Amino acid sequence: MTKQQLMQRLKEYALSYARLVLQLPYTIVNKNYAEQGNRSSSSSAANYRAACRAKSYADFVNKLKIVEEELDESVFFLEMIEELNPAFSEPLRKLEKEGQELLAIIVASLKTLRLHKS
């Protein structure tokens, strides 16, 4: 997968997250969890873009670590939303699967970077 493809995939993940959030029933808990998840999913896409423009190896690794944290957080909030909205289980699980796949790609990239740095 090229960096452009991964950048697009992360952007689509953030957009899919936002579209799903718009469909949820309005409750104070859904609002809070949805906002947090929405921010973290879009932050992962934005930070990957920033990583692609990193000024140094250390800057690149640092930004990828932020992507990892934000993706993990976005998946966590999907899990929380699903617990409270079982009627949305199917689309939430689909989005959660994509988040987990993206997270695995970033984790593998970080491991590869650590191996090459040694």
Angle (nearest 5°) at CA 105 between 98 and 21 = 30
Q: What is the CATH number of the domain that holds 79?
A: 1.20.1440.60
Eight-class DSSP state of 87: G
Give the chain's domain count: 1
| Residue-by-residue pLDDT tens, the chain, 118 positions | 899 999 999 999 999 999 999 999 999 999 999 999 999 999 999 999 999 999 999 999 999 999 999 999 999 999 999 999 999 999 999 999 999 999 999 999 999 998 887 6
pTM for the model stands at 0.94
Write down the pLDDT at residue 1: 87
Q: Which residues contact 40 (CB under 8 A, 6 or more apart)?
A: 70, 71, 73, 74, 77
Q: How many C-beta neighbours within 10 Å does residue 14 have?
A: 21
User: What residue numbers bound the domain in which 111 lies?
Assistant: 3-117
Count of residues for the chain? 118
